[in-house]
Amino acid sequence: MHQVASERTDWNAIREEFPILREHAHGHPLIYFDNAATTQKPRAVIDALRHYYEHDNANVHRGLHELSARATEAYERSRQRVAQYLGAASADELVFTRGTTESINLVAYAWGGKFVHAGDVILLTEMEHHSNLVPWQLLAARTGARLRFVPVNEDGTLALEQLDSLLTSEVKLFAFTHVSNSLGTINPVADLCQRARAVGARTLVDAAQSVGHLPVNVQELGCDFLAFSGHKMCGPTGIGALYGRAAILDSMPPWHGGGEMIVSVTLEKSTFKKPPYRFEAGTPNIAGAIGLAAAIDYIERIGRPAIFEHDARLAAYAMEHLAELPGMRILGPSGRRGAIVGFVMDAAHPHDLTTFADQRGLALRGGHHCNQPLMRKFGLPGTTRASFYFYNTTAEIDRMIDILRDAARFFS
C-alpha cells in the first residue's frame, strides 16, 4: 500500500521539506553525506515536537488532568505506530529507549543477567558496531560467558559457510547487525534467525542502519529482539525502541528501577508492571516518542521500498564514480547493499580528506566508525564514509567526486 513507485516520487519536493538542507558550511551549500551517523529532520517532525510542547506537554500515565491525558494518549499512540511500522504482534512488545545502544544494553542486563551463565556463548559477527559488542563483553565479564564471532570476508560479507560450526547448542544468543554501518553489507536476517532458532538460540537484530531505509517486519524476520534509533530515520535524538517477543519480555526482570515501572512499593520491596512499562523507569522521552511517530508517518508516506530503491541508486552511482578516482579502494560488497560507501584513498588519510571536504561544505565521516576490530582486520586505521538518504542527489555525488579529485591532487 505504501509502494509508491520511485519514478513517480518527486524527490526534489521531498528535499525541500528539510529546512537544514538549505544551510551553508564554510560558505558552500551543504552536502550532507553523514546520514549513517544521523539523518536530518523534515519539517513535519520538527512541527510535531513543537506542537507537543506548545499544546500537550505534561507527564504521562499519572496526571488526572486534560494535558496529561493528551500527552499519555499521544505517547501510547506513538508506541502503536512503532509496533505497526515494525510489524509487531502488539504494541506491548515495544519498549521505548534512548536508542539502539540502550536497547541492546537492556537486553544484555535484563535478559542476559537472567538467562546467560558461565560457559554459555554469545555469537556476534566481526562487523558489529561497538554498541553491539561492548555490552556483550561486559555481560561476558559478569557471567563468565564466552563471545564468538562470525568472520567477515574480504568483500565485506559474512563467512556464512562457517556458521554451522559456530552456531552450536552452547549459543544462547546470536546478535548481529542488519546493515553494516561501515561496509553497507545487508545481512540475510531471516535466514540467520531461522538457523539460530534451530539450535535454540535467541536472536537480536541491530537495525540502526536499516529501519529507516528498507522494509523491516519483525514477524517476517523471525527475530526475538530488534533494536533501533529514531535519529537515524528522520526522528529526534534520544529516542529509540527495543522490540522483544511478548513471551520473552514477560520472562525478563526489570533493569532500571524507579517510578512508572511499579505496581506497588513498600519500603522493603516492590512489584513491577508488565512489559513494556516494566522497562521504562522514570519519565520517558515523551516528545521524542511523538517525534519518532511523526518520522514514521513521514517515511511511510514516501514508502520504504521507494526509499531503498532511491538510496541504492545513489550508492551504485557513487561507487561507479569513486572507482574512477586514482588510488581508490572501496570497501564492502559490490551487489545489493545499503546506502553506505566506505573507502580509502592512497593520496590522503581519512581525517585529511574529511577536513578538506568539510571546507568545501561536504560532510563526510572519517575514522573507524565504531568498528575498530573490523578496521584492524582490514589493516586500515580507518576509512572515509559517504552515507546517503533519500534527500540526497546524484548532483551532490558529482560534487563529492570533484572535491575528492581536488583533494587527491592537493595531498599527493
Partner 1 sequence: MSVELEELYQEVILDHARRPRNFGELANAAVLVHGDNPACGDEIHLGVRFGPDGSLQDIKFSGHGCAISQASASMMTTKLKGKTRAEATELLRAFQDLVTGETTKQSQNLGDLLLMQGVQKFPQRVKCAMLAWRAFEQALQQTAGESTVSTETDFSNSGFRTASPLG
Q: State the nearest-atom distance from the C-beta of 295 to partner 1, in Å.
A: 24
Grouping H, G, I as helix, E, B as strand and the rest as coil, residue 199 is: coil
Cα 405 to Cα 412: distance, rounded to the nearest angstrom:
11
- Catalytic residue flag (residue 370): yes
Q: Are strands 31-32 and 362-363 parallel, antiparallel or unpaired?
A: parallel
CA–chain centroid gap for 3, Å, is 22
Cα 148 to Cα 360: distance, rounded to the nearest angstrom:
43
For partner 1, the closer of residues 128 and 260 by Cβ is 128
Exactly one of 193, 223, 234, 370 is catalytic; name it: 370
For partner 1, the closer of residues 258 and 327 by Cβ is 327
Residue corresponding to grid cell 500500500: 1
C-alpha cell at 106: 537492556
Q: State the nearest-atom distance from the C-beta of 287 to partner 1, in Å.
A: 25
CA–chain centroid gap for 224, Å, is 17
Phi, psi for 155 (deg, rounded to 5): -85, 5
Position 410 contacts partner 1 (CB under 8 A):
yes
For partner 1, the closer of residues 159 and 363 by Cβ is 363
Cα 92 to Cα 76: distance, rounded to the nearest angstrom:
10
Residue corresponding to grid cell 519483525: 218
Binding mask 16-35 for partner 1 (x = CB under 8 A): ----------xx--------
Q: State the nearest-atom distance from the C-beta of 403 to partner 1, in Å.
A: 11
For partner 1, the closer of residues 11 and 378 by Cβ is 378
118 Cβ neighbours under 8 A, 6+ residues apart: 143, 144, 145
Cα torsion through 396, 398, 403, 407, rounded to 10? 140
Position 381 contacts partner 1 (CB under 8 A):
yes
Q: State the nearest-atom distance from the C-beta of 367 to partner 1, in Å.
A: 4
Among 149, 317, 378, 411, binds partner 1 (CB under 8 A): 411
Work out whether the CA dihedral 192, 196, 197, 202 comes out positive or negative: negative
For partner 1, the closer of residues 101 and 285 by Cβ is 101
Say if CB 96 and CB 285 are below 8 A apart.
Answer: yes
Position 41 contacts partner 1 (CB under 8 A):
no
Cα 70 to Cα 215: distance, rounded to the nearest angstrom:
31
CA–chain centroid gap for 355, Å, is 26
Work out whether the CA dihedral 17, 23, 29, 34 comes out positive or negative: negative
Nearest to residue 150, comparing CAs of 139, 158, 138?
158
Q: State the nearest-atom distance from the C-beta of 361 to partner 1, in Å.
A: 10
Judged by CB under 8 A, the number of residues near partner 1 is: 24
Grouping H, G, I as helix, E, B as strand and the rest as coil, residue 406 is: helix
For partner 1, the closer of residues 77 and 349 by Cβ is 349
Among 370, 386, 403, 404, binds partner 1 (CB under 8 A): 370
Q: State the nearest-atom distance from the C-beta of 32 to partner 1, in Å.
A: 15
Q: Which stretch binds partner 1 (CB under 8 A): 121-129, 188-196, 376-384, 390-398?
A: 376-384
For partner 1, the closer of residues 27 and 200 by Cβ is 27
Q: State the nearest-atom distance from the C-beta of 394 to partner 1, in Å.
A: 25
Grouping H, G, I as helix, E, B as strand and the rest as coil, residue 154 is: coil
Q: State the nearest-atom distance from the C-beta of 382 to partner 1, in Å.
A: 5
C-alpha cell at 174: 546470536
Binding mask 329-368 for partner 1 (x = CB under 8 A): -------------------xxxxx-xxx--xx----xxxx
Say if CB 96 and CB 127 are below 8 A apart.
Answer: no
Cα 257 to Cα 279: distance, rounded to the nearest angstrom:
8
For partner 1, the closer of residues 236 and 366 by Cβ is 366
Q: Site residues (CB under 8 A) for partner 1?
A: 26-27, 348-352, 354-356, 359-360, 365-368, 370, 372, 375, 380-382, 410-411
Which sequence positions are flagged as catalytic?
370
